[in-house]
């Protein structure tokens, strides 16, 4: 069978996700395991969301609403965009794949940063694209170099804002300047999976750029701050025309009914999530202070995760932490063998991470 598989597919290294808690328990015989490896919300969905999930579960014999009517209406209102400008996905990952499907032919090019979120690279390669990866400078996007990397065959530029694993965001000025340099038939895909965590006055309001830039698409997700990673629901905001195209090529029931109900309920529960964002911010300060006390360098982050530098020893430390029941992510796969990435958890989890780290160092 392998001989029949497309050549470009065979070159792809499989995505390695953060280890699931149960897997670590099974494999290492541990009882108490915490996961700080996939940037999830440690508190879980709100009680209101859980009630919506239970209600919707009674109707699981029915197909979901393929148009996500209630979720679409709620989000359109919240964002001040037309319902026709929205497209929903089985996680925002699916929107990355859909955009590539719509635009990229074999031999076309896609521009990304390096390191950056791995799905951009994987989705582009599956489609047979040549990926031009522009190195970060001091963990930030080098947008001038990325604009220069855009060539005749470039179809998409992916901007993670903030990006993973760097945790850095792009400013309004930077994004506008970049858009001014890029051809209007190149999709500028702005991935805002961590949008809800950013608190910075100069963070770009990407959605407001869409009316004047039909080549901008913005994605967000319910997986990160909203704590619904297990349900898989994300959304894209684009021009009505491009959203319509993506809606044409997606699978008709790509967002399940429970996910839709949970997302609607989550949007209504603003106080619950505001509180979580505040707690995460508090824990970020605690982790910064604790890392400083351990004399470790880290990358200042706008998100709910932090890159920690442990020269020469990061991957060994990741393994040792695992044995202590603390799952974090080694960054070797991203080409940063000296770093690990830790997700900001609850106060208790942060403490346990720091304590375990201290013991392993
Ligand atoms: C987690 C993440 C996503 C997507 O998550 P979904 O669960 O598919 O919505 C997208 N982009 C970045 C940068 C992420 O870290």
In whole angstroms, what is the distance from residue 163 CA to residue 176 CA? Answer: 18
Closest Cα to atom 1, ligand 1: which residue? 193
What is d(CA 73, CA 164) in angstroms, rounded to the nearest whole number? 29
The finding on whether 193 has its CB within 6 A of some atom of ligand 1 is yes
* CA of residue 17 to ligand 1 center, whole Å: 12
344 and 284 Cβ atoms separated by less than 8 Å: yes
CATH fold group of domain 2-44+271-360? 3.90.1150
303-344 confidence digits (pLDDT tens): 999 999 999 999 999 999 999 999 999 999 899 999 999 999
* 165 within ligand 1 shell (Cβ under 6 A): no
CB atoms within 10 A of CB 84: 15
What's the gap in Å between 214 CA and the centre of ligand 1? 23
CATH number of 47-267: 3.40.640.10
Residue 307 and residue 301 in contact, taking contact as beta carbons nearer than 8 Å: yes
Q: Which of 281, 282, 235, 288 is nearest to 260 (CA)?
A: 235
Instruction: Measure 313 CA to ligand 1 centroid, in angstroms.
Output: 27
Q: Is 223 in the pocket of ligand 1 (CB under 6 A)?
A: yes
The pLDDT confidence band at residue 17, using thresholds 50, 70 and 90, is confident
Q: From its phi and psi, is residue 300 left (phi > 0), alpha (psi between -120 and 50) or beta?
A: beta
Full-model pTM: 0.96
In short, whether 164's Cβ falls inside 6 Å of ligand 1 is yes
Domains 2-44+271-360 and 47-267 share a fold: no
| More confident call, 112 vs 15 | 112
Quick one: angle between helices 270-293 and 347-360, nearest 10?
20
Average pLDDT value over all residues in the chain:
96
Which residue's CA is the closest to the ligand 1 atom numbered 2?
Answer: 193
The Å distance, Cα 222 to ligand 1 centre, comes to 9
Domain map (residue ranges) of the chain: 2-44+271-360, 47-267
Question: Residue 191 C-alpha to ligand 1 middle, in angstroms?
Answer: 8
Ligand 1 pocket, 234 CB below 6 A? Answer: yes
User: For 131-181, what is each residue's pLDDT tens digit?
Assistant: 999 999 999 999 999 999 999 999 999 999 999 999 999 999 999 999 999
Token pair in block for residue 48: 């209101």
CA of 361 to the centre of ligand 1 (A): 31
Closest CA to 303 of 343, 336, 273, 339: 343
């Amino acid at each position: 069978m392998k001989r029949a598989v497309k050549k470009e597919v065979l070159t792809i290294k499989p995505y390695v996700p953060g280890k699931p808690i149960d897997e670590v328990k099974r494999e290492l015989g541990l009882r108490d395991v915490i996961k700080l490896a996939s940037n999830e919300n440690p508190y879980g969905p709100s009680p209101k969301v859980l009630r919506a999930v239970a209600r919707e579960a009674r109707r699981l014999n029915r197909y979901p609403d393929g148009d996500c009517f209630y979720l679409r209406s709620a989000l359109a209102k919240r964002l001040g965009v037309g319902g026709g400008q929205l497209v929903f996905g089985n996680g925002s990952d699916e929107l990355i794949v859909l955009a590539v499907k719509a635009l990229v032919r074999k031999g076309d090019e896609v521009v990304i940063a390096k390191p950056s979120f791995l799905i951009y690279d994987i989705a582009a390669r599956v489609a047979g694209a040549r990926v031009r990866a522009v190195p970060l400078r001091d963990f930030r996007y080098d947008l001038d170099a990325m604009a220069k990397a855009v060539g005749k065959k470039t179809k998409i530029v992916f901007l993670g804002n903030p990006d993973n694993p760097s945790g850095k965001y792009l400013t309004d000025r930077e994004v506008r300047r970049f858009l001014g340099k890029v051809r209007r038939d190149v999709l500028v895909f702005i991935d805002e999976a961590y949008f809800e965590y950013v608190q910075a006055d100069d963070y770009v309001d990407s959605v407001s750029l869409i009316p004047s830039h039909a080549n901008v698409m913005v994605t967000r997700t319910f997986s990160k701050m909203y704590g619904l990673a297990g349900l898989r629901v994300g959304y894209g905001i684009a021009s009505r025309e491009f959203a319509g195209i993506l809606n044409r090529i997606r699978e008709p029931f790509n967002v399940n009914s429970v996910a839709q109900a949970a997302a609607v309920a989550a949007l209504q529960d603003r106080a619950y999530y505001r509180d979580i964002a505040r707690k995460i911010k508090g824990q970020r300060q605690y982790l910064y202070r604790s890392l400083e006390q351990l004399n470790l360098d880290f990358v200042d982050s706008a998100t709910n995760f932090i890159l920690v530098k442990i020269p020469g020893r990061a991957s060994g430390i990741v393994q040792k932490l695992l044995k202590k029941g603390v799952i974090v992510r080694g960054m070797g796969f991203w080409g940063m063998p000296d770093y690990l990435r830790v997700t900001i958890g609850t106060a208790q989890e942060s403490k346990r991470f720091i304590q375990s780290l201290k013991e392993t160092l």
